[in-house]
Amino acid sequence: MTALLTLTVLVLVAIAIWQMTKIFELSQPKTERAEIANDSDNKNNGYLLFAFLIFIYGITIFSFAKYGKTLLPEAASEHGGQYDQLMWVSMGIIFFVQTITQALLHYFGYKYRGQKGKKALFFADNDRLEFIWTIIPVIVLAGLILWGLYTWTNIMDINEDDDPLVVELYAQQFNWTARYAGDDNVLGDANVRLIDIDRANILGIDESDPNGEDDVIVKELHLPVGRKVNFKMRSQDVLHSAYMPHFRAQMNCVPGMITQFSFTPTVTTEEMRLNPDVVDKVKRTNELRAEWAADGRPNSDPW
């Protein structure tokens, strides 16, 4: 009963407010209200377009000045330079086109605003204009795509003649574990069905496989500078992202399959610590991560 009375009161209050609003409108002197914008409205909107253009350019410049250094840290892998070059060329083209098109868009919005006595010119099509704005993006995008495919192919190419160091990254919820392939540089077989906590076999390594006898399991991963490292990645439970921004490497660890990524470290951890920007980024990073270190010993065992 209380709820019904409360609802009734609220409905009556809403009706009263609505009636008071109508009375207020009727008591006001009649003013001319045109639904069609006049020259003054169009001119004001044109100025607002310029103000918005200045705003988006200003916020873009501010963002680059304030946060530009946080996009990516210093590259520490052999392919990092190729990756960065491709990214910055793509960004440069995007911002060049964006700057010109936005400026023209807002300028034309003001220049060709509605004015009394002026009539817009209508034409159905313009073959030359359509050809220009179609062929230029096609050429630019085709160039970027071919360049990107070439760069990606080089990054993902794993040549056994390079004698890459084989390392497994094993992902679990709230935990990362690395396994070196040992002296034979061949990982032993593993399967999640073989996990045996009582026997400390947390990675599910097949104990009958002789290739796994010299495998080394670590929590802190050391990588040799100047030698290619081939990562074999597995996940025990859910999808994990093996993200290594300094090495320009990212690969998902997928349950039930092995994914891989390879790169050659070029900068040692000690050299990176000399860069104050890198140290500051590490201090502000608090996500789940594994411990990494790159050492200047390409021919020694990192474990």
How far is residue 217's CA from residue 194's CA, in Å, rounded to a whole number? Answer: 16
Tell me what pLDDT residue 92 has: 92
The overall pTM is greater than 0.95 = no
Tell me what pLDDT residue 288 has: 46
Tell me what pLDDT residue 233 has: 92
Tell me what pLDDT residue 297 has: 59
The 10s digit of each residue's pLDDT in 56-68 is 999 989 998 888 8
The 10s digit of each residue's pLDDT in 126-157 is 888 889 989 999 999 999 999 999 999 888 88
Structure tokens at 85: 């070059």
The 10s digit of each residue's pLDDT in 196-220 is 887 888 888 888 888 888 888 888 8
The 10s digit of each residue's pLDDT in 155-190 is 888 877 778 899 999 998 888 999 998 888 888 888
Q: How confident is the model at residue 234 (pLDDT cuts 50, 70, 90)?
A: very high
Structure tokens at 272: 């990176």
Does 241 have pLDDT greater than 50? yes
The 10s digit of each residue's pLDDT in 107-124 is 988 888 888 888 877 878
| Pick from 126, 157, 185: nearest CA to 264 | 157
What's the one-letter identity of residue 251?
A: M
Dihedral in degrees, nearest 10, Cα atoms 174, 222, 227, 235: -20
Structure tokens at 234: 């597995």
Tell me what pLDDT residue 168 has: 92
Beta-sheet pairing, 291-295 with 220-224? parallel
Distance of CA 100 to the CA centre of its chain: 25
- Residues near 299 by Cβ (< 8 Å), separated by ≥ 6? 224, 227
**162-295: CATH architecture:** Sandwich (2.60)
How far is residue 230's CA from residue 251's CA, in Å, rounded to a whole number? Answer: 12
Supply the mean pLDDT for the chain.
Answer: 83
Higher pLDDT, 87 or 26: 87
Tell me what pLDDT residue 90 has: 94
Tell me what pLDDT residue 22 has: 79
The 10s digit of each residue's pLDDT in 243-302 is 988 899 999 999 989 999 999 998 888 877 776 665 554 443 334 455 555 665 555 566
Tell me what pLDDT residue 259 has: 92
How far is residue 248's CA from residue 196's CA, in Å, rounded to a whole number? Answer: 35
Could you tell me where in the chain the CATH 2.60.40.420 domains are found?
A: 162-295
The 10s digit of each residue's pLDDT in 66-125 is 888 778 888 888 898 899 999 999 999 999 999 999 999 989 888 888 888 888 778 788
CB 260 within 8 A of CB 167: no
Tell me what pLDDT residue 112 has: 85
Query: DSSP readout, the chain?
Result: -HHHHHHHHHHHHHHHHHHHHHHHHHHSPP----SS--HHHHHHHHHHHHHHHHHHHHHHHHHHHHHGGGS-----BTTHHHHHHHHHHHHHHHHHHHHHHHHHHHHHHHHT---TT------S--HHHHHHHHHHHHHHHHHHHHHHHHHHHHHH---GGG-PEEEEEEEETTEEEEEE-TTTT-PPPB-GGG-BGGGTBTT-B-TT-GGGTT-EEESEEEEETTS-EEEEEEESSS-EEEEEGGGTEEEEE-BTS-EEEEE-B-S-HHHHHT-HHHHHHHHT--SS--EEEEES-TTS---
Higher pLDDT, 12 or 36: 12
Tell me what pLDDT residue 300 has: 58
Q: Which residues pair with 262 in a beta bridge?
A: 230
CB 170 within 8 A of CB 215: no
| Pick from 230, 292, 262: nearest CA to 73 | 292
